[in-house]
Amino acid sequence: MKITEVKIFPRNSDSLRGIAHIVFDEVFVVKSIKIIEGKNGPFIAMPSAKTKKGEHRDICHPLNTETRNEIEKLIIEKYHESLKEAPKTETEEE
C-alpha cells in the first residue's frame, strides 16, 4: 500500500502542532493523526480512544517500524511545508 495523500491541519495548542489525515491507495483514509512537538522535534501520535480505565489506546497503527517511520516522515515533511505556506501575521512580518 502506498500513501497517496497527506492533509495537514496546523494547530498551535500547547505541544499539539497539527492534525494529519492520510489516504492509502486513494481508497482508505486514516484521520486525526496528531503532530506533537517533543523535546527532539515533532513526532506523530496515531488516533486513539479512551478506555473505561481512562487509558488512551491506539485505534489503528502500523504493524512494523518501517511503515511507522515512512508515515511519520511523510507527515512531518508535509507539516513543515504547510508552515512555509501559511500566511504571516502582522507580528511575523515586522
Half-sphere exposure for 17 (CA within 13 Å, toward CB)? 16
Q: Whole-prediction pTM value?
A: 0.83
Identify the three-state secondary structure at position 85. helix
> How many domains, the chain?
1
For residue 55, the domain's CATH number is: 3.30.1120.40
Q: 9 to each of 33, 48, 53, 93, how far by Cα in Å?
A: 10, 18, 30, 22
Q: Is residue 94 part of a domain?
A: no
Q: Is residue 43 part of a domain?
A: yes
Per-residue pLDDT of the chain (94 residues; tens, 9 = 90+): 899 999 999 988 889 999 999 999 999 999 999 999 999 999 999 999 999 999 999 999 999 999 999 999 999 999 999 888 766 544 444 3
pLDDT score, position 94: 38
Q: Is residue 93 part of a domain?
A: no
Give residue 66's domain range: 3-88
Q: Is residue 37 part of a domain?
A: yes
Q: Is residue 34 part of a domain?
A: yes
Q: Is residue 23 part of a domain?
A: yes
